[in-house]
Amino acid sequence: MSSAIIINGNEIGQEIRKSVADRVMKLKDQGVTPGLAVILVGDNPASQTYVRNKQKSCEAIGIFSELIKLPQEVSEEELLNQIRSLNNSENIHGILVQLPLPSHINEDKVIATISPEKDVDGFSPISVGKMMLGQETYLPCTPFGVMKLLEHAGIDIAGKHAVIVGRSHIVGKPMGQLLLQKDATVTYTHSKTPELPSITKQADIIVAAVGRPNFITKEHVKSGAVVIDVGINRDENNKLIGDVHFAEVEQVASHITPVPGGVGPMTITMLLFNTVQSAEKSLSQDK
């Protein structure tokens, strides 16, 4: 039995980053350096790693990146004031607050305080509302990255049945909307869905975003389906694995994304893409 074509997020991400780097050069020629501010509260090791990767990626393509580290016990008001000050900064085109935040801070309030013009994560209620209506806005980076993977892999979405496993605000919900806008028929499933395999087996495209290691097995997948694995989990040996049982599903799928090296690199790539887009908009508004 032939195994699935692997959709390589590292390669596709690099290709997109090259074109984004060209756009950065053009902006710099016009006197604008795209700027991304990242706010990190506390010292969560996973968050620190994510932030480091984001900064390295910015530097690699010429984006100015400012890291603002705040202590775990920072007050909500201090954090909101920091965001308001960045909203007004001419050198900053994108603002990102690394989640999760300490429990005494209201994440919704924080996200809503970021100016929609600088919401390069695509999480604010205004960005989400515009996305739902199909209006131009910053798309959330992980679902946006998945759409780019499908596009680069030559997967035709129109008329296909896409099943989303997971319903988070960050991945599951927006993922379904973006596929719907490309004329897929979309079904949402989640932890309370009975007889899950009977639904996922109907899918031409499965997007797994449940946060449960090796959750999707070959029992869930019909022959020839495209399987996108958004999960990032650690196994008992601390090895990075996805929500999809790769070795099993690879035997039945037509295309599959690996973990690591699939969706992960695309999330940061689309963050860079959105930040540069914001800088381009600010330049056209100044003219």
Amino acid at 64: F
183 as an active site residue: the answer is no
Q: Which residues pair with 187 in a beta bridge?
A: 163
Q: In whole angstroms, how large is the CA radius of gyration of the chain?
A: 19
Residue 222: predicted pLDDT? 98
Residue 287: pLDDT band (50, 70, 90) is low
pLDDT digits (tens, 9 = 90+) for 2-26: 799 999 999 999 999 999 999 999 9
For the segment(s) 32-115, the CATH number from 3.90.1300.10, 3.40.50.150, 3.40.1050.10, 3.40.50.10860 is 3.40.50.10860
Q: Is 54 a catalytic residue?
A: yes
Spot the catalytic one: 82, 119, 121, 177. Answer: 121
> DSSP characters for 215-231?
-B-GGG--TT-EEEE--
The answer, yes or no, to whether residue 283 has pLDDT greater than 90, is no
166 has binding-site annotation = yes
Q: Give CA–CA dist 66/35, Å, rounded.
A: 8
Determine the pLDDT at residue 284.
Answer: 83
**What's the rounded Cα separation, in Å, for the pair 82 and 114?**
10
CA distances from 113 to 68, 72, 108, 123, 151 (A): 16, 19, 9, 11, 33
Neighbour-count burial for 109-142, b at 16+ CB within 10 Å, e otherwise: ebbbbbbbbbbbbbbbeebbebbeeeeebbbbbb
Q: Which residue in the list 54, 118, 148, 173 is annotated as catalytic?
A: 54
10 Å CB burial of residue 59 (0-12, 13-18, 19+) is: exposed
286 is catalytic: no
pLDDT in tens, 70-101: 999 999 999 999 999 999 999 999 999 999 99
Residue 176: predicted pLDDT:
98
Rounded CA-CA distance 172/272 in Å is 21
Largest Cα–Cα separation, the chain: 59
**Ligand-binding site membership of 167 (annotated):** yes
Q: What is the pTM of this model?
A: 0.95
| Residue 232 is labelled as binding a ligand | yes
What is the C-alpha separation between 233 and 181, in angstroms, rounded? 29
Confidence category of residue 46, pLDDT binned at 50, 70, 90: confident
**Domain locations along the chain:** 32-115, 140-264
**DSSP states of 97-108 as a string?**
EPSPPPTTS-HH
For the domain made up of 140-264, give the CATH fold. Answer: Rossmann fold (3.40.50)
